[in-house]
Structure 1
Amino acid sequence: MEARIKHLPKQLSGGEKQRVAIARAFVGTPTVLFADEPTGNLDNASSKTLGDLLFAMNQESGTTLILVTHDVNLAEQCQTVYRIHEGRIR
């Protein structure tokens, strides 16, 4: 992303915008981090890297991670999972 530092948001791809938003969320080591489809616009390698970062922050900093995702691999790494099926939480 360093090479794109002077670009305007409209000049960034969806994945690049998502990476910038995630980097901003990590600043200051938040107590709670809400992540709504954090891997939605990322390729597989970037998704894995981001998942590793999210769960490392959770473990190392004690940040509570509230994650909404359709990514089964990401969901399987969560300590607690709530599923919504036909409008009901399970």
Structure 2
Amino acid sequence: MRLKSADTLRALMQQESVSIGNLAASAGCSKGFISHLLAGRRRSCTAALAAKIATSLGAPVTVLFEISKPIPADAIRILGPYHRSQRRH
């Protein structure tokens, strides 16, 4: 999946008061990867990781990422109905 906008990612992080480290830990990736997304050095990731990043920020995955390929079955569970109460901090 391809990140639509680093600015949108940054704005959601600020809105939710989520640091790079907290987002990385919640999404299960490195701080460096999040930093690369924010700097525009990386633009894509797996559907599962995109879903974890979006959910960690309280947003539907389609707000942050463009779906470029069919979503794998194992990611559908992650992309299911979003409930703010399910978000991890």
Decide which structure has greater helix share: 2
Do Structure 1 and Structure 2 share a fold, with TM-score over 0.5?
no
TM-score by length of 2: 0.30
Larger strand share, 1 or 2: 1
* Greater Cα radius of gyration, structure 1 or 2: 1
When the two structures are superposed, what TM-score results if normalisation uses the length of structure 1? 0.30
